[in-house]
Structure 1
Amino acid sequence: MVNTQAPLGDSVVVDAPAKVVLDLIADTDPLHYLSPAIVYAERDITGPAQDSVTVWTITEDERVWSRIQHRTFDADGLRIAFEDAPESTLAGVRGEWILRAVSDDKTEIELRQDTSALTGSEAVARAESARSDLLSTVAFGAGNRSELADLVVDFRDPLFAAGSAEDAYKILYEADRWPERLAHVSRIDMTEDMPGIQFFDMDTTTSDGAPHTTRSVRICFPHSKIVYKQIGLPALLDAHTGHWLFTPTREGIIVESRHVAVIKRSMLSILGEGTTVEAARRYLRQALSTNSMTNLRIAKEFAEEQARA
């Protein structure tokens, strides 16, 4: 399953209660795996019924751009107003999500947007593309929530290291050196034309010997987080995103891997005839965790070696 809906108009009706839709719009975390275009979204609660959201999006020609929105919630009125911050790439864009309960289990979603503050045609086109993608993504996520609950595999693996975030980050940031450090990675072709924005093609092998070639984009936040999204996927998946998180403690650091994988139901048979979703979930959890824990152990060893030096 993948979000491949045609571009929507100003509104769409979905089979979901209004409260479910409102909660989905408020929670930006699912955007990175529900939307084909969104790499990462970060939400900061700024006050009662208010937040600030930063969204990083990838274009069709593989450019990454971001925007910052301030939002105000009217839960009773089923509305969310937003305006792009002065420092946003789409500064001045404003609008509103408006939800109308058609019935107890059906909701009309309207997304209004005013781009009159923008002066360039490229910025207007970018804002309109983002509006269409957000509306489509929310409609898809709300309307397919039951199936997605089965198909989305979301887990985290933490590992303690008696070292610094800087040293652990270095190993996971230097993905171009993974083939010499990690047995399951045979090739990486990486570019970083903009600081902190990496693209790479990678050949890997899972613990059962299955080869995979993927293409990924990563956004690197020095010494705190690296987020990624696969934009060239293995056959079994409709989406694969995640992060490397570096959290200092008084004793050292917790390095965490997160994977969010969306199973493509139509491709279950590549794991063998009769493969069920439950079997695919177990396979993915084991395969993804095995490889990323190898990365984490290398980062731990390096950080602790540097701490002893």
Structure 2
Amino acid sequence: MVRGAEVGADPDTVFELVADVARWPQFHLSAVHAEVIHSDEGGERIRYWALDGDSAVRTWQTVRRTDRPGLRISFTYVEAEAPATSVRGTWVFTESERGRTRVELHHEVVAPADADLGPLLDRIGRDAAEHLETLRDTAERRTELDDLVVSFTDPLFIAGSVEDAYDYLYRADLWPERIPHVVGLDMTEDVPNVQFFDMDTKGPDGGTHTVRSVRICLPPRLIVYKQISLPAMLDAHTGHWRFTETREGVVAEARHTSTIKPSALSLLGSGTTVGGARRFLRRLLSGNSMSNLTLAKAYAEERAGF
């Protein structure tokens, strides 16, 4: 199975967008999280999490081999989805003309002769088409997105245990009791450490805003989130809470990456520029994050006896 697309960007740029799996969740609608869990001379073992509808997550692992000089990225699924016994693929990047790239995504699926591969092949085809369209859009808008994407981290030291710091932010179901700007939250966790919730927050204008998010929780080091229904001024919002142990305690880090929706700038007032929207988002999101981290710090330090 082969899917292809013409992209108005040079091959190196397009190649790097595919190679950098950590960036996929910001630009690809279904991607939630991806991370390299092992790397050696045989390649990188990568685990992916992706939305399956708006209330479930699929996860899988591949072994990926990256050939930068040859502009090829190959991958093999560690466990093929039944009824397939093997699934592998290759990204191929070819300069079609100066500043343009022909991208092809190849899949090879092996299964018993009597297997019904129809549903699996249909999904692979849909996913490939969506990935290629996302890739094309992201590559061709790369200069614009440099201005529209706001990404930052805020760290805070906590003189307590990583388990307590993690638990405070993991227990999102308790946020309406614990965090002042959260006025309501309805959470489900049908699969351990995969959370979906609808959260009502009070904005600086006094109004209430509702967003739906998915979170992948990897105790006690990381909680990754993606908003899947968004505030009116954003095209995407992802982030994480990361917890790093030190000899003295733990450094908790909040990260936000938001993509501004250009057509919604007027929501912040007539004449608002992208620069003004960037400053507004940084102030708002950083303020909320530091408030949450400060509350987590107080909780963990009180339990540690400080």
> Which TM-score band (shorter chain)?
over 0.9
Q: Which residue of 2 aligns with 1:257?
A: 254
Once residues 125 and 137 of structure 1 are traced to their aligned partners in structure 2, the CA distance between those partners, rounded to angstroms, is 18
Q: Which residue of 2 aligns with 1:24?
A: 17
Q: Which residue of 2 aligns with 1:113?
A: 107
SS in 2 for 1:81: strand
1:186 paired with 2:180, answer: no
SS in 1 for 2:271: coil
CA 1:150–1:168: 2 relative to 1, 3 Å: same
CA 1:99–1:49: 2 relative to 1, 3 Å: farther
Once residues 256 and 85 of structure 2 are traced to their aligned partners in structure 1, the CA distance between those partners, rounded to angstroms, is 32
Q: Which residue of 2 aligns with 1:34?
A: 27
After TM superposition, list the pairs within 5 Å mapping 1:39-118 onto structure 2: 39-44=32-37, 46-47=39-40, 50-86=43-79, 92-117=86-111
Question: Aligned AA for 2:98?
Answer: D
CA drift at 1:210: 4.3
CA drift at 1:49: 8.4
Unmatched 5+ stretches in structure 1:
1-8
After TM superposition, list the pairs within 5 Å mapping 1:1-309 onto structure 2: 10-44=3-37, 46-47=39-40, 50-86=43-79, 92-117=86-111, 121-308=118-305
Q: CA RMSD in A?
A: 2.0
Once residues 86 and 232 of structure 1 are traced to their aligned partners in structure 2, the CA distance between those partners, rounded to angstroms, is 31
CA drift at 1:128: 3.0
1:134-186 deviation line (CA, Å, top 9, x unaligned) = 22222222111111111111111110000111101111011111111111010
Q: Which residue of 2 aligns with 1:4?
A: none
1:94-116 deviation line (CA, Å, top 9, x unaligned) = 01111111223111111011123
CA drift at 1:48: 5.2
SS in 1 for 2:226: strand
CA drift at 1:91: 6.6
Q: Is 1:50–1:72's contact at 8 Å kept on the other side of the alignment? A: yes
Once residues 79 and 254 of structure 1 are traced to their aligned partners in structure 2, the CA distance between those partners, rounded to angstroms, is 38
SS in 2 for 1:192: strand
CA 1:209–1:81: 2 relative to 1, 3 Å: same
Q: Is 1:53–1:70's contact at 8 Å kept on the other side of the alignment? A: yes
CA 1:45–1:221: 2 relative to 1, 3 Å: closer
Unmatched 5+ stretches in structure 2:
none
Q: Which residue of 2 aligns with 1:5?
A: none
1:72-103 deviation line (CA, Å, top 9, x unaligned) = 12222211111111387887210111111122
Once residues 281 and 224 of structure 1 are traced to their aligned partners in structure 2, the CA distance between those partners, rounded to angstroms, is 29
Compute the TM-score of the two structures, normalised by the length of structure 1.
0.91
Q: Which residue of 2 aligns with 1:3?
A: none
Once residues 127 and 271 of structure 2 are traced to their aligned partners in structure 1, the CA distance between those partners, rounded to angstroms, is 39
- Aligned-residue sequence identity (percent) comes to 46
1:172-230 deviation line (CA, Å, top 9, x unaligned) = 01111111111101000111111111111111123443431101111111111111111
Compute the TM-score of the two structures, normalised by the length of structure 2.
0.92
Once residues 45 and 129 of structure 1 are traced to their aligned partners in structure 2, the CA distance between those partners, rounded to angstroms, is 28
Q: Is 1:115–1:127's contact at 8 Å kept on the other side of the alignment? A: no
Greater shift, 71-80 or 19-28, is seen at 71-80
CA 1:172–1:42: 2 relative to 1, 3 Å: same
Give the count of matched residue pairs.
301
1:40-75 deviation line (CA, Å, top 9, x unaligned) = 111346135832222111022521001211111222
Q: Is 2:85–2:110's contact at 8 Å kept on the other side of the alignment? A: no
Q: Is 2:194–2:214's contact at 8 Å kept on the other side of the alignment? A: yes
